[in-house]
Structure 1
Amino acid sequence: MSTMTDLVQWGLRGASLPRRRALALRLGVVLAFLALWSLVSGLVVLLGLFNPIFLAGPWLVLGKVWELALSGELWGHLGATLERVAVGFTTGALLALALGLPAGQWRAVRNLLEPIVEILRPIPPLAMLPLFIVWAGIGETSKVAFITYATFFPMFLTTVHAVQQVDPLLLRAAASLGARRPQLFFRVVLPAALPEILTGIRLGVALSFFVIVISEFIGAEQGLGYLINDGRNFFLVPQMLGSAIVLGLLGYAGNALVVRLGRHWLRWERP
């Protein structure tokens, strides 16, 4: 704790855990969850609380995922889901940034966009899915559009708010040093707003994996959502739970990637 920033952070959060200890703690939590899951599923079998088929044990579920991976079936479904998420999320993020940055910077743009956004934002994405299917069919376009619609609003709102919250003192200081409008935007506004923008992107990543399952329930022949729906139709509980776990791992990996990129882009925040 050699700097004032370190002292302040230590006072607010306490001493940070070493990396190895933090990793061990996370692995311990995961193992404890698996142990609890195994215990509950075992008690269901021993006590006959209900039909064990309703709650497959973790090793049965992980074994099913391993079986799908070895047969190659998992990778086709995984690739289809990742492709849809990547295209839909990227489109939503680009639209949110392209509209959110000027909306946060200029009141006229914000007044123009705000009524439309506030009318559409409360409409649940699930309510729009039938319309996307009617407009674009049951192919890839409707699924990508559905993800784009669902992820756009949180990223747009956080981007607008991030730009609005930039400290005016920073802008005046840069202007007094001769910075022009493009320089103010790229050298002051964008770096200052980036932490909150990245928070919105993290929300968008999580939401994209949340809604992809719904879109793959309808008219899809590949995808993790299709696997879940197929397991529901034929009562393959290990397949359903295994596909859900893979989705959760993908979401975790996507969030970790954004966090790592944020640490790289926001190096200037750390002394």
Structure 2
Amino acid sequence: MKYQVRRAVRTLSVALFLLGWQGASMVNARRQFLNPILFPSPLDMVRAAYAESAEGILWRDIAASLARIFQGFGIGALIAVPLGCATGYFRRLDDWVDPIVELFRPIPPLALLPLFIIWLGIGEVSKVLLIAFSTFFPIFLNTTEGVRSTDPLHVRAALSLGADRWQIFGNVIVRSALPNIIVGLRLGFALGFFVLVAAELIAADSGLGYRIQESRNFFLVDRMFVGAAVIGVLGFTFNLVLRRLEDLLLRWRTTIAQARG
């Protein structure tokens, strides 16, 4: 029941926001506080999105952006999760890896975009690897922290039952780190989407970021809003998928909480 109430409240908040936006746009169209072209309404955005969909532009841009983000995110996650687990578990490996990570972590990914373009060209590889670079750090750091924060009591319990080192690593430590890993994946995807759109604004001939830039050149503000809204919806959807995955993989947390309650 509580979940249904929360869901209704969230849906209502979005509906009220859109209604308020539509009303403000209608008032602005009459009073001319701003040029109406600069402040499109949600209905204007729907019409623009329909036009782009009918032309096939919107779907091509969504497909291009999703292909880049999933490739870059996948590469970053496939490197960050195993390396983070190993670094958090083996202290000697941490002594080697941590200085390198801390050296590169403060560098803004977009500062490396010109270098990636010089090295790899303006094509897909430079954007995909830049996304992989940006997603690596939040996933790696959260994974490492999750491994290190494993309750020693759980490890001792596994040892008392005869588990060897690798069984403890796979069945106790990695599972204990799953909440942190999923948080890292969520943060990594959000950062990767930010870098993707910024890269498409600068160096691309397709994608949502490119479409926003192209719409700006032709002063199509409603289409700029459509691009931004689609980015928000895609990011929200993927975050929701990861949260559902977290609930599915970590149902034991709910069981423990109910037992304690």
Q: Distance in 1 between matches of 2:235 and 2:126?
A: 21
Counterpart selection for 1:253 from 230, 233, 237: 237
For 1:44 and 1:118, the matched residues in 2 are separated by 50
Identify the match of residue 80 of structure 2 among 74, 88, 96: 96
Q: Partners of 1:60 and 1:245 in 2: how far apart?
A: 13
Correspondence for 2:182 = 198
User: SS of the residue aligned with 1:101?
Assistant: helix
Matched, 1:115 2:103: no
Counting aligned pairs with the same residue, the percent is: 45
**Separation (CA, whole Å) in 2 of partners of 1:206 and 1:218:** 19
Deviation larger for 46-55 or 249-258:
46-55
CA distance in 2, matches of 1:159, 1:17: 32
How far the C-alpha of 1:42 sits from its partner, in A, is: 2.2
1:22 lines up with 2:6 in the alignment? yes
Instruction: Provide the C-alpha distance between the structure 2 equivalents of 1:270 and 1:18, rounded to a whole number of angstroms.
Output: 14
How far the C-alpha of 1:41 sits from its partner, in A, is: 1.9
- 1:7-156 matches, within 5 Å, as 17-19=2-4, 21-156=5-140
Is the counterpart of residue 238 in structure 1 residue 217 in structure 2? Answer: no
Counterpart of 2:3, as a letter, is P
Displacement of 1:60 in angstroms is 0.1
SS across alignment from 2:50? helix
State the 1:50 CA deviation. Answer: 2.1
**Offset of 1:148 from its aligned partner?**
0.7
How far off is 1:22 after superposition?
Answer: 2.4
CA shift, 1:58, in A, is 1.1
Deviations 1:143-201 (A, max 9, x none): 00111111111111101110000011111110111000111011100111101110111
1:196-248 per-residue CA deviation (whole Å, 9 max, x = no partner) reads 11011111121122111111123312111111010111111011100110111
Q: For the residues of structure 2 that align with 1:229 and 1:69, how far apart are their CA atoms?
A: 18
Moved over 6 A (4+): none
SS of the equivalent of 1:217 reads: helix
Distance 2:235 2:104 in 1: 26
1:89·1:208 contact (CA, 8 Å) conserved in 2? yes
Q: Is the 8 A contact 1:202 1:258 kept in 2?
A: yes
Count of aligned pairs: 255
Deviates more, 1:212-221 or 1:230-239: 212-221
- Distance, in Å, in 2 between the alignment partners of 1:169 and 1:99 is 24
Distance 1:232 1:124 in 2: 25
TM-score, normalised to structure 1, is 0.91
After superposition, what is the alpha-carbon deviation per residue over 1:24-67, rounded to whole angstroms, capped at 9, x for unaligned? 21211111111121122223222221211111111101211122
Moved more, 122-131 or 215-224: 215-224
State how far apart, in whole Å, the 2-side matches of 1:98 and 1:185 are.
Answer: 12
Moved more, 158-167 or 256-265: 256-265
Unaligned runs of 5+ in 1: 1-15
- Long gaps (5+) in structure 2: 256-261
CA distance in 2, matches of 1:201, 1:50: 40
Partners of 2:34 and 2:222 lie apart in 1 by: 16
Q: Does the Cα contact within 8 Å between 1:138 and 1:218 map onto a contact in 2?
A: no
Determine which of 157, 163, 172 is the counterpart of 1:188: 172
The CA deviation at 1:268 is: 2.0
Q: TM-score when scaled to structure 2?
A: 0.94
